[in-house]
A = this chain, B = another copy of it.
Amino acid sequence: MSQITALDTFDLRFPTSRMLDGSDAMNPDPDYSAAYVIVRTDDDGPDGHGFVFTIGRGNDVQVAAIDALRPLLVGADADALLADMGSAWRRLVHDSQLRWLGPEKGVMHMAIGAVLNALWDLAAKRAGVPLWRLLSGLSPEQIVDLVDFRYLTDALEPAEALQLLRAAEPGREERTADLVAHGYPAYTTTPGWLGYDDAKLARLTREAVEAGFTQIKLKVGGDLADDVRRLGIAREIAGPDIRIAIDANQRWDVDEAVRWVKELAPFDPWWVEEPTSPDDVLGHAAIAQRIAPVRVATGEHVANRVVFKQLLQAGATQIVQIDATRVAGVNENLAILLLAAKFGVPVCPHAGGVGLCEVVQHLAMVDYVAVSGSTENRVLEYVDHLHEHFADPVRIENGRYLAPERPGAGTEIIAPSLVAHRFPDGEVWS
């Protein structure tokens, strides 16, 4: 038996606001950050790493929330915990007192996600495989056992989830081979940050197309005339066959979203992302109906599976954008993948930030191998920031993510970066 001995936490921040990387209509000056946790055990094996992505101020609050989970795990039997990750999820999410701080949303819920992802990192490292392979190798019954169906059964019963997973079982081997040979399709947000000038937008759009990407994304929602001009530049350079998504980062009310998107419709946007509040299921549904055939995409700020369930029930989103660190970890994202499969809606994960690409690629790949069984209309976001800090950085070739090969969940930041980026005393900040 091995025991969990420590949850060590780190407040890591990267001074991205100095370059306006990551600037958009709602987030003009982010300092990409990670509330980072290492789960240690008393054996000689690996540690588990996990984190919550934030954009600067408040990363210390996020760390405090992870710290609050320490008493629930230190002293626990690591083997038993990893052998029943469905119970581990419930133990953390349903703590009778901590639950009040959400419930199942915000800082406390994300903290649980970081810890669960660290446990998954540990499990994958112990198994000697990358997380996507570990998960893709589970039986349908094992996957269903990882999911808490509370509040979901009006849309998806466990039996139905099992059926979906069984239907996808036959092709697993073939799709795994396909992933290893060709990777997973990506799109890039690199050209389109709101803080970039037209020349930089044009150059980066050209480079993205040349690099093999078939979809790019532009931030919008600051100023309509600017958006029209910028989208025109991108469309002219990209040509008619490259998909261009637009992303408003929650900038609009319902009517405003509809008016704005209609003005941009001549440039054939593939989807409009986060047109309004991520909590507004009915608002997204109204927008989706009024701007069709332009698709609505959302998810990076959707608090939990219950809101995703409703977005799907209401036809409010045509693209499900899971995020690796917004919900309570791998388990809850599996629930969301199952919901999306049930409703036949493609999952195109949110990534970027710091480490989100590294982590969420595993979930996109599980979706392909074991859940939806498809990459049709599925693309995984790619942003070329901060990968150098990770032990297993993503590898992009010809507009596709290559399948990770190293054991783990992609969550591990290299030791020198843990030191240099520690806030406020690391060398980057002093």
Nearest opposing residue in chain B for A110, CB measure:
B101
Q: Which residues of B contact A313 (CB under 8 A)?
A: 282
Given the interface contacts A96-B27, A100-B54, does A281 sit within 8 Å of B253 by beta carbon?
no
Q: How far is the CA of A402 from the CA of B279 in the complex (A)?
A: 37
Least CB distance from A79 to B in Å reads 26
Nearest opposing residue in chain B for A254, CB measure:
B154
Interface residues of A in 99-133 (CB under 8 A from B): 99-110
Scoring A residues 19 to 48 as 1 if CB is less than 8 Å from chain B, else 0, what string do you get? 000000011111100000000000000000
Q: Quick one: which of B154, B282, B304 contacts A286, CB cutoff 8 A?
A: B154
Given the interface contacts A61-B61, A108-B61, A281-B282, does A153 sit within 8 Å of B254 by beta carbon?
yes
**Are A57 and B61 in touch, CB under 8 angstroms?**
no
Count identical subunits in the complex: 2
Given the interface contacts A61-B65, A279-B105, A306-B277, does A150 sit within 8 Å of B96 by beta carbon?
no
Given the interface contacts A277-B151, A280-B310, does A97 sit within 8 Å of B61 by beta carbon?
no
Least CB distance from A34 to B in Å reads 12
A283 at the interface (CB under 8 A from B): yes
A-B contacts, 9 of them at CB < 8 A, read A29-B96, A30-B97, A60-B68, A62-B101, A103-B250, A104-B277, A151-B276, A154-B283, A279-B304
Interface residues of A in 254-304 (CB under 8 A from B): 254-256, 276-283, 286, 301, 303-304
A56 at the interface (CB under 8 A from B): yes
**Are A58 and B105 in touch, CB under 8 angstroms?**
no
A167 at the interface (CB under 8 A from B): no
Q: Which residues of B contact A65 (CB under 8 A)?
A: 58, 61, 64, 107
**Are B98 and A253 in touch, CB under 8 angstroms?**
no
Q: Which residues of B contact A98 (CB under 8 A)?
A: 57-58
Q: Which residues of B contact A100 (CB under 8 A)?
A: 27, 30, 54-56, 58
Least CB distance from A155 to B in Å reads 9
Nearest opposing residue in chain B for A307, CB measure:
B279
Least CB distance from A430 to B in Å reads 18
Nearest opposing residue in chain B for A94, CB measure:
B26
A314 at the interface (CB under 8 A from B): yes
A178 at the interface (CB under 8 A from B): no
A425 at the interface (CB under 8 A from B): no
Nearest opposing residue in chain B for A111, CB measure:
B61
Q: Which residues of B contact A283 (CB under 8 A)?
A: 151, 154, 306, 310
**Are A105 and B105 in touch, CB under 8 angstroms?**
yes
Q: Which residues of B contact A151 (CB under 8 A)?
A: 253, 276-277, 280, 283
**Are A106 and B102 in touch, CB under 8 angstroms?**
yes
Residue from A58, A64, A277, A310 whose CB has the most chain B CB atoms within 10 Å: A58
Q: How far is the CA of A57 from the CA of B72 in the complex (A)?
A: 11
